[in-house]
Structure formats: C-alpha cells, structure tokens
Amino acid sequence: MASGPAGPMSRPGASDRVRQENALSLLKPSDSGVRPVYKRPAMRVITSTSALSETCSRLAAGDYVAVDTEFMREQTFWPDLCLIQLAGPHEEVIVDPLAEGIDLKPFYELMADKSVVKVFHAARQDVEIVFSEAGGLIPTPIFDTQIAAMVCGFGESVSYVNLVKKITGRDLDKSSRFTDWSRRPLSEKQLVYAIGDVTHLRDIYTHLKTELETTGRESWLDEEMAELTAPSTYESHPENAWQRLKMRVKNRKALAVLIELAAWRERQAQAQDVPRGRILRDEALYDIANQQPTAPEKLSELRTLSDGFARSQRAKDIIDAVKRGLERDPKTVPALPHNQPMSAEATATIELLKVLLKASAARHRVAPRLIADSEDLERIASEAEPDVPALKGWRRQLFGEDALKLKRGELALTLAKGEVLALSLPNS
C-alpha cells in the first residue's frame, strides 16, 4: 500500500508520467498548470483544466480515490467550494477550483465513474457541495469511513483525527481547519493540512475495508450508505424548511404560519445567497407565528423586529405568508409533537433496554446508535412487536431478539467483573 506522498508507484507508465510532469513543472510552472509547492514531498496544486483532466484519468484507473473538500459558507447560503483534495493509490493532488479558467468537469466525471470507489470521511457535506455545484450529481459508489468505523469498534461520529491516531498512530495538526480557504495564495501550512485530509484517508480506508471483509459486516452499512447517496438527502424543499426549527409554537394554527414563514425565508436566503438568519432570525419567526399579525404596522409591536421593519418590502411578504398560514385547514397541518409522559413501567423497561443495548454493542464492537435509536427502544418497550429496524436482520440477531426476551422475563442482566452480562433464564 502506498503510504506517503513519495511512496513507490507500482504501475509502470503512470509513475513515469508523474515524475516527468513534476520535473517539467519545476521548470515551467505556468505552462503545465501544475504548481509544485514543495520539492520534497512533491505536493502538486492543479490550476488548469488540462492538468486536472490528465490527473483524473490516471486516478480513474485505480480502485478508489480518497476525496475531501474545503469550503466556506459563513457569509452565504450555498457553500463556496475553495479546495479539492484527491488521493489515489499512487498519487495525491490538490485542485484549486478558484484558479482562473479551470473547468472542474474532469473531477465531476471521476466522481460519477462507477468503477472507482469514492472514499470520504463524514461524506455528507462534501457530497452536498458536489450535488449543488454539479447539477445534482452524487458521487457513486461511496465509502464513508466515519460510518464504516461504527461497525469496526470506533464508536459513533468518530473524528478524522481520532481515527488517524487509532489506526496509523499519527498525530495530526488541525490548527488550520478553520482558516480562510478562499484566500490566495494559500499558505504552506494550509496546503500541508489539506493534503493530510486525504493521504491518511487511504490508510484508514484500506484498514476498515479489510476489517469489514474479515468480519463479513459490509452489508451492515447498506442503509446508511443508501441514505448518503439518495438525492432526497440533498434536495432542497423550502416547504420543509420548518422541520429544522424548534417547535416553539403554541398550536397547529401557529405551526401553519411557521411553515409558511420558514418556506418564504428559505426561498429568500437561496435567491440572495445569504445565511437564513440574515433574512430573519429564528426568534422572529417564532414570535410572528405565535402573534400572527395581519397588517404590516402590527409588526412594529414585536420586540424581535427592529423599528422601521414594518415599512420594508419584507414586512409585506411576511404578512402575506402569515395570511397563507392562517387560511390553511388546520387538519392538513402536522400534529405538534406531544410530550405525553411515559408510564413508569415503560420508563423502567427503556432503562433496562438501554443497558442491554450498550452491552450488546460493546460485545460486538458496534456503535449503539447503529443498532437502535431511542425511538426504537420506546416502541419496543410499549408495543408487542413493533416494525422497527432494531427487530430486523443483523440488528435483531445482535440485540432485538434479546430485547424481546428481556421484556418477556426470559433474560436477566447481571454483572461479571464489572461487565454487563445477559443470562438466559430457565423456562419455568
């Protein structure tokens, strides 16, 4: 396995071309479109379409490519792609998407190439940016190392730094993480940091892939990976924008208004490419939804809005949204989540199920959340045999079957040397 930027290259031809290109670029950096940042290790920053095209066709010959992106979205609604890092089995490069005249088409073609596995760590935001920049393209097939780590004993939501440390023993310097990726030229420190996000990803991928094959757990990740590659995960539906808000509304009528307001704000933020809060803060949305003003001058009475807001064009739009919400038939509005207290019996059952879940997860080295979430546990506790993932397939084998036995009194939990142990009880 190639383990560093200067690692050996096994494929004849490709390696010669790379060396030639590097040597050439040292002499004529502007002509080749490849700017060497270091002579050793040779870190290449691609700034032209032709260099990108050559590199991507070499990368397309490999089994996989590790991918990472750096972007900025503090001042905008849509993320601004600032840097792309790629590492195949034999080479690694940085692509500068802000370089003048560069066309990222070869990169997007590589992302769409079904014969090359695209390896990401916590892929969602990277996929989202490819999806929005390349007109709905979703890189396939995908291997997400953060998800794979969940069935290889690394817990849930493990960070890249921790995974690198645990698998390769290396310590990464993350101090450049939140620097300004849109500035040019980028500092050497930024580039070293950026390339590290894909070079070690290769080692992690190889390690996790072997582990999954050895344990036969590849299919355990199917649902997670399917969600990651589903267009619906990335499509923007302003009418669903309310779902990311807290339900700080008093009734269904107020919720209907909140839905309209959130949709209006989402469209405005998208059209103007500014963060949502720049259009209207969340607090103001809740306030308006609960007060339901039907004339602009009423908006002045809300403490969450500034003086003079009532005279703006936005005020008129907001009043229209409020009216649309009020006109809606409350029966078509989703029910507010009711916080009905659980029975004491169900609460105790859930507590025991949690202990069993933790013990099963630890024994099989799987992150508990991948087996069952709190909704699963609540339903197992209160229904006979609910239709939940935890009672199907491998999850049932690891945990679900025992959970039902525990409920029926056929399983007991005890401790052995500090570890939780589930014991089958003899049938009485």
Applying CB under 5 A, the residues found at the interface with Zn ion are 68, 197
CA distance 414 to 206: 38
Q: What is d(CA 188, CA 192) in angstroms, rounded to the nearest whole number?
A: 6
The neighbour count for residue 150, using CB atoms within 10 Å, is 25
User: CB of 119: closest distance to Zn ion in angstroms?
Assistant: 13
Among 254, 253, 276, 247, CA closest to 263: 276
For the chain, what is the radius of gyration of the CA atoms?
A: 27
Q: Which is nearer to Zn ion, 107 or 220 (CB)?
A: 107
Distance CA 16, CA 38 (A): 19
Shortest distance, position 89 Cβ to Zn ion, whole Å:
20
Beta strands 142-144 and 117-120 are parallel
Least separation in angstroms between residue 254's CB and Zn ion is 41
Nearer to Zn ion, 193 or 286 (CB): 193
Closest CB to Zn ion among residues 197, 211: 197
Q: Would you say 73 and 80 are in contact if contact means Cβ atoms under 8 Å apart? A: yes
Which C-beta is closer to Zn ion: that of 47 or that of 69? 69
> Which residues, at least 6 apart from 45, have a Cβ–Cβ distance to it below 8 Å?
34, 35, 36, 37, 93, 94, 95, 96, 191
Question: In the complex, what is the shortest distance from the CB of residue 193 to Zn ion, in angstroms, rounded to a whole number?
Answer: 8
- The CB-of-160 to Zn ion minimum distance in angstroms stands at 8
Phi, psi for 270 (deg, rounded to 5): -65, -45
68 vs 113 by CB, closer to Zn ion: 68
Burial class (CB in 10 A: 0-12, 13-18, 19+), 86: buried
CB 123, min distance to Zn ion, A: 12
Closest C-alpha among 116, 102, 142 to residue 58: 116
Cα–Cα dist 384/404, whole Å: 9
Which of 27, 178 has the CB closer to Zn ion? 178
CB-side neighbour CA atoms (13 Å) of 286: 11
Strands (E), 58-160: 64-72, 80-87, 92-95, 117-120, 142-144
DSSP character at residue 300: G
Cβ proximity to Zn ion: between 59 and 422 the closer is 59
Would you state the structure tokens that stand for residue 424, as one six-digit string? 């089958």
**Rounded least distance, CB 197 to Zn ion, Å:** 4
To Zn ion, the closest distance from the beta carbon of 172 in angstroms equals 11
Task: Find the shortest distance in angstroms from Cβ 70 to Zn ion.
Answer: 5
Q: In 155-216, where does DSSP find H-type helix?
A: 160-168, 188-215
Given the complex with Zn ion, which of 68 and 144 has the nearer CB atom?
68
Phi then psi for residue 416, to 5 deg, are: -130, 115
**Of residues 68 and 287, the one with the C-beta less far from Zn ion:** 68
State which residue, 195 or 285, has the beta carbon closest to Zn ion. Answer: 195
Q: Which is nearer to Zn ion, 143 or 242 (CB)?
A: 143
Residue nearest to Zn ion (CB): 197
Are 241 and 263 spatial neighbours (Cβ–Cβ below 8 Å)?
yes
Taking the complex as a whole, how short is the minimal distance between the CB of residue 4 and Zn ion, in angstroms? 18
Q: Per the structure block, which two tokens stand in for 80? A: 């601004």
The secondary structure of 142-160 as a DSSP string is EEEHHHHHHTTTS-TT--H
Least distance (Å) from Zn ion to the CB of residue 129?
12
CA 16 from centre of chain = 37
